[in-house]
């Protein structure tokens, strides 16, 4: 319906924006002495890398389709490309939501319970947590390949995603994907709301901690922005999946 250059332009803008953000984050992480801020930047780097790779992988399949309109049945008779694209959509879709909830939880405990742990999360531990999120999302995306649910071609024939049909396996996988995403967004909302309220209460305390408070406010502004974007981009789709599946239970 629209020109293929439309999606190409937005894909390139997204890739360039993520590369620029990654360069800024890497440059900032080398200059910081605050361990809490450093671990937060690690989570941000993980989020940016995930978004960049998600755009790169999915665009490498979807954009060529818009240009040459290849026939999926001929190009991918064994559905391997479709399964790969469906896996990519689920993996790179679920990762940002889980990372957003993880970041919100880390800031929640850092702001509301600053003395409950002896030290802040180190960079190595933060990267380990990012790796665990990637691993969990990868396992979730592999479920249809292992037999739970299916990835099928979606309208207008340019992408593959989970199947909204009244089959038991499809229903279980759809609900697992959607409810996990909804839970992540709601968890982020709860953690961020409590953290913002706490910061509002203590922000005007002693001047000696003003600089540290400013850093925490900056991190919370970034987290709230991430949460708002994730909510706008994903919640309508996740709610639609749940409604559709529950209306046609097998």
Give residue limits of the domains in the chain. Answer: 73-248
Model pTM above 0.95: no
Q: In the beta sheet, which residues pair with residue 160?
A: 153
Burial 193-214 (b: 16+ CB within 10 A, else e): eebbeebeeeeeeeeeeeeebe
Residue 81 pLDDT exceeds 70: yes
Least confident range from 26-40, 71-85, 191-205: namely 26-40
**CATH code that applies to domain 73-248:** 1.20.1070.10
pLDDT (0 to 100) of residue 197:
87
Give the DSSP letter string of 191-243.
Answer: HHHHHHHHHHHHTTS-GGGHHHHHHHHHHHHHHHHHHHHHHHHHHHHHHHHHH
More confident residue, 60 or 219: 60
SS3 160: strand
Whole-angstrom Cα distance, residue 69 to residue 165? 26
For tokens 């919370």, the residue is: 220
- What residues have CB less than 8 Å from 117, skipping those under 6 apart? 109
- Mean pLDDT (whole number) for 218-243: 91
Residue 225 pLDDT exceeds 70: yes
More confident residue, 158 or 177: 177
- Mean pLDDT (whole number) for 103-131: 78
pLDDT (0 to 100) of residue 190:
94
Query: Quick one: 101 exposed, middle or buried, by C-beta within 10 A (0-12, 13-18, 19+)?
Result: buried
Closest CA to 138 of 84, 62, 58, 59: 84
- Mean pLDDT (whole number) for 88-105: 94
């Amino acid at each position: 319906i629209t020109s293929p250059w439309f999606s190409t332009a937005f894909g390139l803008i997204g890739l360039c924006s993520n590369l620029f953000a990654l360069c800024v984050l890497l440059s900032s992480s080398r200059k910081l002495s605050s361990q809490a801020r450093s671990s937060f930047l690690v989570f941000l780097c993980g989020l940016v890398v995930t978004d960049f790779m998600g755009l790169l992988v999915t665009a490498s399949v979807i954009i060529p389709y818009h240009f040459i309109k290849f026939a999926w049945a001929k190009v991918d008779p064994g559905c391997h490309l479709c399964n790969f694209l469906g896996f990519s959509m689920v993996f790179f879709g679920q990762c940002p939501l889980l990372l957003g909830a993880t970041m919100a939880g880390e800031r929640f405990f850092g702001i509301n319970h600053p003395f409950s742990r002896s030290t802040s999360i180190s960079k190595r531990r933060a990267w380990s947590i990012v790796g665990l999120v990637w691993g969990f999302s990868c396992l979730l995306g592999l479920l249809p390949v292992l037999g739970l649910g299916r990835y099928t071609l979606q309208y207008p024939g340019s992408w593959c995603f989970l199947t909204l049909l009244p089959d038991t396996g499809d229903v279980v996988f759809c609900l697992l994907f959607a409810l996990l995403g909804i839970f992540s967004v709601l968890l982020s909302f709860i953690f961020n709301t409590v953290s913002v309220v706490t910061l509002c209460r203590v922000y005007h305390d002693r001047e000696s901690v003003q600089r540290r408070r400013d850093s925490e406010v900056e991190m919370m502004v970034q987290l709230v922005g991430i949460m708002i974007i994730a909510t706008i981009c994903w919640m309508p789709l996740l709610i639609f999946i749940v409604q559709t599946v529950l209306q046609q239970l097998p």
